[in-house]
Chains A and B, each alone.
Chain A
């Protein structure tokens, strides 16, 4: 088995996961990336997507809607604004976000528009994967 690193997933309200992980697939703003032990230090923004954590005792998946991740050789910390376990029960919460994002996108002008539209499409994509 590959080396493990410390993994933490925290949201403003609570800590969702903490423990050793071998690999963490992060939905970064510019594309998915996978962090493993001894990764070079990176700080990246998240886009709405699925966060996949491979731990020695199994794989867990979370839906996150934004925030950022700090990757160091020793571990990965994901600070998600909202995080849910990937589960059909949590679809409603994501749908509420999508509703907000759609509204924001329709209000947005010029340069904000592209970002808001991307947010909507990311959320739609996330919802499709939440089955």
Chain B
């Protein structure tokens, strides 16, 4: 039988753990709300941008003069995987599920004989990928110091990618992040950003609009921005997902701690009673012996 003091210590330690997880859950809930608001505010821009771009892309389409960012390099040998994860752990399966998806993709591409390069955004993903894919890591973006993701963070990542693309370091770029569905469900997603793909459903826009300067000129100006816009949207989704995942993970942990405290308390009371009974027996048998 565990002794009483040990049990008492364990109960108090689980209690303070529960306090911590409870606090983390509440912090995550507050941050989640802010992250969701940020994602919502960014939505009009992203939607409008994609509408215009898909119209433009449809009308310029496959013409040989189309910019490389839209047409691609004509090869698909080298793939760049941008894996976006959180800077912190303790958020359930959030980081692992993104990394798992990226690993599956990398495995498949390597199996096909393609070259894979990986850029990580966020410390946790890098730690997990370093073990198996350390040789493929070509870059890392650290957002530890960033309290709130801003557009300039996305711009910096996009700029780095575009420089690499111009230097012909890769042909196809895919970003991995977690799409926020609800607080309890975040879906790891892979999205191709270079060559650009737009999911807006606008028809070819050339008939509708006058362009100033030409369609190609506008595309050449906007496509690089498009990469930043997509990365920004992904970062915001990721931020909301991370907080959602942390919130539900911490909720589970809090509940678990509660159950553990109950079990331990019952055990503590039982052993306390056993000790009292024992003492009584000793006293009584001592008295009888006299």
Interface residues of A (CB under 8 A from B): 8, 10-15, 28-30, 40-45, 67-68, 70, 77, 79, 81-82
Contact = CB atoms under 8 A, between A and B. Distances in A.
A42 B211 CA distance: 6
A12 B52 CA distance: 15
Best-surrounded residue of B56, B221, B228 (most CB of chain A within 10 A): B221
Given A10-B48, A13-B41, A68-B218, A81 B212 contact: no
A29 B45 contact: no
B208 interface: yes
6 contacts: A10-B45, A11-B45, A11-B151, A12-B45, A43-B56, A82-B151
Interface string B215-228: 00110011001001
Nearest to A82: B151
B209 A41 contact: yes
A77 B48 contact: yes
Nearest to A41: B209
B44 interface: yes
Given A41-B208, A43-B211, A81-B225, A70 B45 contact: no
B217 A45 contact: yes
Contact of B48 (A28, A30, A70): A70
Given A45-B218, A68-B222, A12 B212 contact: no
A30 B213 CA distance: 7
Given A68-B222, A81-B225, A44 B211 contact: yes
B127 interface: no
Nearest to B210: A42
Given A43-B218, A67-B225, A79-B49, A28 B212 contact: yes
From DSSP, what is the main secondary structure of chain B's interface residues? helix
Interface of B: 38, 41-42, 44-46, 48-49, 52, 56, 150-151, 154, 205, 208-213, 217-218, 221-222, 225, 228-229, 232
Given A13-B42, A40-B210, A70-B48, 17 more contacts: A8-B44, A11-B45, A13-B41, A13-B150, A14-B42, A15-B45, A30-B212, A43-B218, A45-B222, A67-B225, A68-B221, A70-B52, A77-B48, A79-B45, A79-B49, A81-B151, A81-B225
A92 to B, nearest CB: 14
Contact of B212 (A11, A15, A44, A77): A44
A28 B48 CA distance: 18
B250 to A, nearest CB: 28
A77 B45 CA distance: 10
A19 B208 CA distance: 24
A15 to B, nearest CB: 6
Given A41-B209, A42-B211, A79-B48, A12 B232 contact: yes
B60 to A, nearest CB: 13
A40 to B, nearest CB: 6
A33 B247 CA distance: 49
Nearest to A33: B212
A68 B213 contact: no
A15 B52 contact: no
B211 A14 contact: no
A129 to B, nearest CB: 22
A77 B189 CA distance: 30
A14 B150 CA distance: 11
Contacts of B211: 42-44
Nearest to B42: A12
The 9 closest A-B pairs by CB, nearest first: A44-B212, A14-B41, A12-B151, A41-B209, A42-B210, A10-B45, A43-B209, A12-B45, A10-B44
